[in-house]
Chains A and B, each alone.
Chain A
Amino acid sequence: MPTDVERWKSEVYGNEIREHLFEFAEEGWDSIPEDERDAWFERFKWWGLYHQRNGQESYFMLRIGTPNGRLDPGQLRVVGEVAKEYATGPGTNPIFGDAYADITTRQAIQLHWIKLEDVPELFEKLEANGLTAQQACGDSWRNIVGNPMAGNDAEEIIDAWPVIKELNETFKGDDDHSNLPRKWKVSVAGSADGSGQGDINDLALEPAYKEIDGERTVGFNVRVGGGLARNEPRHARDIDVWVAPEDAAAVAGGLSALFRDHGDRENRYNARIKFLVDEWGTEKVREVLQEDYVDFELETAGEDVRDQYTYNAGGDGRNDLVGIHKQKDGKNFVGLNVLVGRMGADDVLELADLAEKYGSGAARLTQRQNIIIPDVPDEKLDEFLAEDLLEHYSPDPSPFMRGSVACTGTEFCSLSIVETKNRQVRFARWLKENVELPEGIDQFHIHLSGCTASCAQPQIADVSLRGMKTRKNGDPVEALDIGLGGGLGEEPQFARWVTQRVPVDEVPGAIKNLLASFEELREGDETFRDFIQRHDDDELADLVEPEETSYEDPMMHNTKRTWYPYAEEDSLDAGPAPTNADGTPITSDD
């Protein structure tokens, strides 16, 4: 039997949703019939709109897809302007204030508290500036990720941007690929550092060499079926295919069509292509792709460069794109740390000014929730680095700030079990003040995800934190599972969950104790990941030692049972939602 979601999709989906969305926006939130709301909210996702959680009815999250995290000159300013104008609501965040933009782990942008009535005007402004929310969510091609400096990264062996651009232009709005069984996440990268993070995507194109007609040619190896969600993490699997850049759209489209036709539409929990790869095996995926979905002979896999991967790998070399790096053209790109990916709208606008003053006006978003200002010539570098704004968004931050990644959490998200972004900020600040990393360790990644959906990619961090609940002194409190030793690189590994249900106020102490044990027991200059690797789970559980410290957590209670966790009166029925276009509460007629 098809699921409700499949039934709703079969009635209206894809491009045609927009017309209905705009009609509802014109007539107001209340015009959506109550018994149709869930269906429409599911469909609105295709246009980037997620209805916020209970207690925040009539407010939406808007995701803007920026392929490869690429913001052309002027677009960062537009993001700041729309955040300032539209992303405000009845709740004020005690750390980030009233209007902010979130950089996501898929190089997109999220705004909150968006009113449905503002959507047409907001879309008009975005689209007039080359930005869109189309297919930012929903069951279709999502924002394509990669190395955001593609085309100008001195470490790349092939420029992936033309391929990403072609895939984006081909499969955004293509009715043949607009209704897939589930989301379709694609990574395309040409850098030898592994910064595409292809291993955790449904489809990964990774740089590889192949002898073609006697010439060593650069193209991409193809991997399929990676993903982290639902306690079922998978690395993308090698299907033994190499593709030339000019054929990438044919192969990627073939695989997306294969998924469309063969993915499980009866059980959404089993729908992602990772489960189809489990069931079929890689040989069958290749066979069916060859037989039914491409009209040329597929090449076998080429020689990859995975042995050079350093990104988020925990060893030497570039683990992220923070800091000052040389471009191919001799200019510099400057990666700035954005703690948990969240920037106030005024800061976005100020950074847009700096991007114009010192660079080309362009900006780039990374999968570690950071932002890059490219095209800074040597002669302007020192002056740029001396700007006040870069004290907060630093190119050389504390490792605990630099390594922090967090999802949205219970502030807005239905799925999350715990508060995340503000908590990760509190964790990072406390760790920076109270914990020293062992000598030579200048990178330490801590990812906090509110639930098993894994939007903060917890399984690929040094320390992985995942939302949970426990009791403390008999009372239910927010808690975190602690995993260790995850990372990407030539041999990617998922974190091992060694300690579970640690009350949130004991987590910083646990990390402090773990790092003290690492310093004490470390062999030579071994990396944290190698240290974790040579201990079994029981040994690691002993090293974690949760402990109360000077860290205090004001959000121990059930933040999901609030209309907004930071409100003075936070109970579910104390909030103003739903509201009309100007934020006035809509009262029930009866």
Chain B
Amino acid sequence: MSVSLRVLDDGAWVSVNDSRQVSVSELWRLDAPEFCSCTVPDFVVENFQSVGVDGRTITATVYGQCIQCGETGVPGWIPVGRLKNGEYVDLDRENVVLPAHGGNGN
């Protein structure tokens, strides 16, 4: 089954199957040891750059900053949701620690 993934509105949203699902301005806790020196970076989402899929997991690269130390940048690919029976299901992004992978975007 094909899935339509887009970054829309100049980086404000991740769209999955023509529906806006993930917005800027959220605060995510990340497992991203390469991004900054904080144990668990507290990352504010400022701008989506790209969206992809890893198995059934929807992932995104996003520019933002850690509100604890101020480091800015792109902390790799971050899971934002999953596909279940073809339907998009949100991850609880603000209450779980999200694993960033795939480098620091540089």
Q: Is A385 in the interface zone, CB < 8 Å from B? A: no
Question: B46 contacts A417, CB within 8 Å?
Answer: yes
A290 at the interface (CB under 8 A from B): no
From known contacts A417-B46, A476-B94, A560-B25, infer whether A470 and B67 are also in contact, taking CB-CB under 8 Å: yes
Contact status of A417 and B25, CB under 8 A, knowing A4-B6, A452-B46, A476-B94: yes
Known contacts being A35-B18, A451-B46, A471-B42, is A415 close to B67, with CB within 8 Å? no
Complex CA distance for A523 and B24, rounded to whole angstroms? 43
Report the bound CA distance from A476 to B26 in whole Å: 9
Contact A38 B24, beta carbon cutoff 8 Å: no
Total contacting residues, chain B, CB less than 8 A: 24
With the chains together, A560 CA to B45 CA distance in Å?
12
A33 to chain B minimum Cβ distance, whole angstroms, is 9
Task: Check A54–B23 contact: CB distance below 8 A.
Answer: yes
Question: Digit string of B1-26 for contact with A (CB within 8 Å is 1, else 0)?
Answer: 00010101111110100101001111
A558 within 8 A of B: yes
Contact of B27 among A34, A416, A471 (CB under 8 A): A471
- Chain B residues positioned under 8 Å from A35 (CB to CB): 4, 18
- Residue A501, interface by CB 8 Å: yes
Is A500's CB under 8 angstroms from B27's CB? no
Within 8 A of B (CB), among A538-566: 558, 560
B12 near A415: Cβ-Cβ < 8 Å: yes
Q: How far is the CA of A260 from the CA of B27 in the complex (A)?
A: 38
Task: Known A35-B4, A476-B27; judge A268-B10 contact (CB<8 A).
Answer: yes
Which residues of chain B from 50 to 73 have any CB-CB distance to chain A below 8 Å in the complex?
Answer: 67, 70
Beta-carbon nearest neighbor of A476 in chain B? B27
CA distance A415 to B13 in the complex (A): 8
Q: How far is the CB of A46 from chain B (nearest CB, A)?
A: 15
Residue contact A415 to B24, C-beta cutoff 8 Å = yes
Give the residue of A414, A468, A470, A558 whose beta carbon is less than 8 angstroms from that of B9.
A414
Chain B residue numbers with a CB within 8 Å of A468 are 44, 67
Q: Mark A35-59, 1 if CB is under 8 A from B, else 0.
A: 1011000000000000000100000
Determine whether A280 belongs to the interface, using a CB cutoff of 8 Å to chain B: no
Chain B residue nearest to A37 (CB atoms) is: B18
Q: Is the CB of A469 within 8 A of B18?
A: no
Q: Name the CB-closest residue of B to A415.
A: B12
Q: How far is the CA of A37 from the CA of B9 in the complex (A)?
A: 12
Name the B residues within 8 Å of A467 (CB-CB).
Answer: 25
Contact of A451 among B24, B49, B67 (CB under 8 A): B24
Q: Which 5 A-B pairs have the closest CB atoms?
A: A417-B25, A414-B12, A414-B9, A469-B44, A415-B12
The 25 sampled A-B contact pairs (Cβ below 8 Å) are A4-B6, A34-B18, A38-B15, A54-B23, A414-B9, A415-B10, A416-B25, A417-B24, A417-B25, A417-B44, A418-B25, A451-B24, A452-B46, A452-B47, A453-B10, A468-B67, A469-B67, A470-B44, A470-B67, A471-B42, A501-B67, A501-B70, A558-B25, A558-B26, A560-B25
Interface residues of B (CB under 8 A from A): 4, 6, 8-13, 15, 18, 20, 23-27, 42, 44, 46-47, 49, 67, 70, 94
Known: A4-B6, A560-B23. 7 other contacts (CB 8 A): A54-B13, A414-B9, A417-B44, A470-B67, A501-B67, A501-B70, A560-B25
